[in-house]
């Protein structure tokens, strides 16, 4: 693929250890000549990135990167770890995430800004499936160091 005219959608899990590396990647991709970059994380994390929003799902354009959140309905106000049921969190994340991200892909295409490559973070297999169903190239972004794979002797 030629980099000219690419539209990268970077979809990141809503955890701080995922968001910061994901934003760094988005900034690097934004330096590709002619590329457009959209960064998407859950509404709860989007609110933390932009605390003065009028609406929790408000789209933000920050220079070369556009930020559009997806919904993990039921947890858009955030997750209360060790209080909320992890099975419910996972089920809603895997159900509502794809539905709202699909809507985002459709909206971008309708604006004449179709996504040509989806970069997705760990814990987000549904993003790959969604991209595949739409014929969009997808790439897993692994922000952790290789040392996590070291097996102690």
* Whether 8 contacts 113, CB under 8 Å: no
- CB half-sphere exposure, 92, CA atoms < 13 A: 16
Q: Which of 114, 149, 153, 112 is nearest to 134 (CA)?
A: 114
33 class by beta-carbon count within 10 Å (0-12 exposed, 13-18 middle, 19+ buried): exposed
Edge-to-edge strands of the sheet including 65-67? 60-62, 65-67, 36-40, 7-11, 117-121, 137-141
Rounded CA-CA distance 86/91 in Å is: 9
In the set 7, 18, 46, 123, the catalytic residue is 18
Whether 18 sits among the annotated catalytic residues: the reply is yes
Annotated catalytic residues are: 18
């Amino acid at each position: 693929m030629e980099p000219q005219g690419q539209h990268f959608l970077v979809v990141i899990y809503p955890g701080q250890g995922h968001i910061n590396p994901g934003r760094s990647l988005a900034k690097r991709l934004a330096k590709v000549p002619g590329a457009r970059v959209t960064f998407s994380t859950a509404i709860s994390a989007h609110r933390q990135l932009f605390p003065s929003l009028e609406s929790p799902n408000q789209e933000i354009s920050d220079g070369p990167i556009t930020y559009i959140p997806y919904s993990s309905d039921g947890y858009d106000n955030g997750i209360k770890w060790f209080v909320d049921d992890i099975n419910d969190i996972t089920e809603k994340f895997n159900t509502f995430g794809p539905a709202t991200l699909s809507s985002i892909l459709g909206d971008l295409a309708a604006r004449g800004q179709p996504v040509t490559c989806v970069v997705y973070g760990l814990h987000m297999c549904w993003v790959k499936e969604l991209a595949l169903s739409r014929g969009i190239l997808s790439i897993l972004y692994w922000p952790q160091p290789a040392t996590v794979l070291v097996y102690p002797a």
